[in-house]
Chain A
Amino acid sequence: MEFVDGLHCRECGRKYDVSAIYVCEFCFGPLEVMYRYEEIKEQLTVEELMCRPKTMWRYKELLPLDHEPTVGLEVGFTPLIKARRLAKVMGVKELYIKNDSVNYPTLSFKDRVVSVALSKAKEFGLGVVACASTGNLANSVAALAASADLESYIFIPFDLEQGKILGTLIYGTNLIGVRGSYDDVNRLCSEIAQGLGWGFVNINLRPFYAEGSKTFGFEIAEQMGWNLPQHVVVPMAGGSLITKIWKGFKELEKLGFLNGGTSKIYGAQASGASPITTALKEGEDLIKPQKPRTIAKSLAIGNPADGYYSLKVMRESEGWGEDVSDAEIIQAMKLLAHTEGIFTETAGGVTVGVTQKLIQQGIIPRDESILICITGNGLKTQEAVMGEIGQPVVIEPNINDFRRVANQEISQ
């Protein structure tokens, strides 16, 4: 809070004191956390920052808390690897992967945003936190709330598959199945967020929650030696992550932490849930909602809250956007696993697939540095690749049978 300069409306610029609010009372525009960058610049140096523990909280001056964080203290600083084998297959010179599929504790980038939201909920004195989610966000809220001694409620459509419920129920949360469509769940949660005095992480805590995504961008810059990759491919669901990675890069630039260079930002969607890339390709500012139909469930948002702002980032950074089919997503998941040993969820298949497509289209040049964002773990969405990756070879328990099979494998 030392450096937080309140909330301001992204549309009309009106300023608000910090509280659990998320839209401008005047124009209904979304609220965003602002900071006093000049003061941060005076007090924080790159050298000091780099001596701190390797978690997302090493960038705490650029996060919206009044005090030290209290939830998710070990989150972040996930590996950034040079993907040499994948680069070879894609025919590019320099390719990197920022791998949040091993983020702590629930194996997705959501642990970053939820840690900030729940730390803020505690500062606001909110005893109950909540979210509506069918996957990664639910896992993260349930786990981190348990660790922080906060009561949590997770809302899901009542007919969600059992497998997805398990990874949330295990943490002892209150899991509420709402009888109705996705639209009904959305509407109910908006009402609850406005009326119960709870911390709904992606509704009334959204301005704070979303700031956690910046740490994904900060880490990219730091792990690249304070140089930005020339091209960054980001998955888009609601569109928050892409806008916050861009904001994070801009903040580091303002603080003078970067050696130079700029990134072009590319948004990646599944073709079955592509309202943002469709608007981009059609040259529109208005996002037309879609009914999502894709295996990339973690990106299946038909009416994205930050769609308009995502378009602005792609255009302003001179990047672009693309989408891939379910078949391309599976192929890309297999490609990443075969070349780099990373089992990503379907959203990772989307970013890898889109990167490949943009390279083939000549939009991303082959001789410049490229970074692919991987935001979730494949172990959570195993059903997506079931039946697509072959079967084990079964042999009799004798060496000759093994030799027969091994010879066949070698000759293939």
Chain B
Amino acid sequence: MLGAQVRKRVYLTFPQALIKEPVVYNVGKKFKVVTNIRTASVTEEIGIMALEITGEEEEYQKAVEYLRGLGVRVDPIEMDVIE
């Protein structure tokens, strides 16, 4: 049975070592999620990307864990909301 689909909006920050890696492509291959890059800025030192990820909650969570495991920072686009 299919779980509920979620649509998440996150910022990814890539460390220098991962800039040349096809990280987002791999996420789509390894997990049942659709990735949609909205904006990105990549220099020799750092990469920043606004990414939409759609899929089941469990698959989304696995994808985020995978990204974090690689050393990619994953932030919700709202950043910190506890004021």
The yes or no answer to A302 lying at the interface (CB within 8 A) is: yes
The answer to whether residues A28 and B38 also contact, given A286-B13, A289-B75 and a CB cut-off of 8 A, is: yes
Interface residues of B in 45-83 (CB under 8 A from A): 46, 48, 50, 52, 73, 75-83
How far is the CB of A102 from the nearest CB of chain B, in Å?
20
The answer to whether residues A137 and B75 also contact, given A28-B38, A286-B46 and a CB cut-off of 8 A, is: no
How far is the CB of B75 from the nearest CB of chain A, in Å?
6
The yes or no answer to A134 lying at the interface (CB within 8 A) is: yes
* Contact of A202 with B83 in the complex, beta carbons under 8 Å: yes
* Contact of B39 with A27 in the complex, beta carbons under 8 Å: yes
* Contact of A182 with B46 in the complex, beta carbons under 8 Å: no
The yes or no answer to B9 lying at the interface (CB within 8 A) is: yes
Main secondary structure of the interface of B (DSSP, over half): strand
Q: Which residues of A contact B38 (CB under 8 A)?
A: 26-28
The listed residue (B48, B50, B52, B80) touching A303 by CB distance below 8 A is: B80
The yes or no answer to A301 lying at the interface (CB within 8 A) is: yes
Q: Which residues of A contact B9 (CB under 8 A)?
A: 23, 28
Report the 8 A-B pairs with minimum CB-CB distance, sorted nearest first: A305-B79, A28-B50, A27-B39, A137-B83, A132-B82, A190-B78, A303-B80, A301-B80
Q: Mark A179-192, 1 if CB is under 8 A from B, else 0.
A: 00010011101100
Is the interface on chain B under 10, 10 to 19, 20 to 34, or 35 or more residues? Answer: 10 to 19
The answer to whether residues A187 and B39 also contact, given A28-B9, A132-B82, A202-B81 and a CB cut-off of 8 A, is: no
The yes or no answer to A131 lying at the interface (CB within 8 A) is: yes
Report how far A224 CA is from B80 CA in the complex, Å: 34
The listed residue (B39, B46, B73, B83) touching A28 by CB distance below 8 A is: B39
Report how far A189 CA is from B82 CA in the complex, Å: 9
Report how far A238 CA is from B80 CA in the complex, Å: 8
How far is the CB of B46 from the nearest CB of chain A, in Å?
7
The listed residue (A11, A133, A190, A286) touching B83 by CB distance below 8 A is: A133
The listed residue (A12, A28, A185) touching B82 by CB distance below 8 A is: A185
B residues whose Cβ falls under 8 Å from a Cβ of A = 9, 11, 13, 38-39, 46, 48, 50, 52, 73, 75-83
- Nearest B-chain residue to A134, judged by Cβ: B82
7 new A-B contacts at CB < 8 Å, known A12-B39, A23-B9, A187-B76:
A11-B39, A28-B9, A28-B11, A28-B52, A29-B39, A185-B82, A190-B81
Report how far A201 CA is from B78 CA in the complex, Å: 12
How far is the CB of A211 from the nearest CB of chain B, in Å?
16
Interface residues of A in 296-331 (CB under 8 A from B): 298, 301-305, 307
Interface residues of A in 9-47 (CB under 8 A from B): 11-12, 23, 26-29
Q: Identify which of B50, B75, B77, B83 gathers the most chain A CB atoms within 10 Å of its CB.
A: B83
Report how far A34 CA is from B38 CA in the complex, Å: 23
* Contact of B76 with A186 in the complex, beta carbons under 8 Å: yes
The yes or no answer to A237 lying at the interface (CB within 8 A) is: yes
Q: Which residues of B contact A65 (CB under 8 A)?
A: none
The yes or no answer to A71 lying at the interface (CB within 8 A) is: no
Report how far A11 CA is from B38 CA in the complex, Å: 12
How far is the CB of A115 from the nearest CB of chain B, in Å?
15
The yes or no answer to A372 lying at the interface (CB within 8 A) is: no
Report how far A289 CA is from B48 CA in the complex, Å: 14
- Nearest B-chain residue to A136, judged by Cβ: B83
* Contact of B75 with A303 in the complex, beta carbons under 8 Å: yes
Report how far A155 CA is from B38 CA in the complex, Å: 30
How far is the CB of A172 from the nearest CB of chain B, in Å?
21
How far is the CB of A399 from the nearest CB of chain B, in Å?
52
- Nearest A-chain residue to B75, judged by Cβ: A303
Report how far A274 CA is from B10 CA in the complex, Å: 23
Q: List 25 A-B contacts (CB under 8 A).
A: A26-B38, A27-B39, A27-B50, A28-B9, A28-B38, A28-B39, A135-B83, A137-B83, A186-B76, A186-B78, A186-B79, A186-B81, A187-B76, A190-B76, A190-B81, A202-B83, A237-B83, A286-B13, A286-B48, A289-B73, A301-B83, A303-B79, A303-B80, A304-B80, A305-B79
Q: Which residues of B contact A200 (CB under 8 A)?
A: 81
- Nearest A-chain residue to B52, judged by Cβ: A28
The yes or no answer to A221 lying at the interface (CB within 8 A) is: no
Q: Which residues of A contact B48 (CB under 8 A)?
A: 286
How far is the CB of B18 from the nearest CB of chain A, in Å?
15
Q: Identify which of B46, B48, B76, B79 gathers the most chain A CB atoms within 10 Å of its CB.
A: B79
The yes or no answer to A203 lying at the interface (CB within 8 A) is: yes
- Nearest B-chain residue to A27, judged by Cβ: B39
Interface residues of A in 101-144 (CB under 8 A from B): 110, 131-137
How far is the CB of B15 from the nearest CB of chain A, in Å?
11
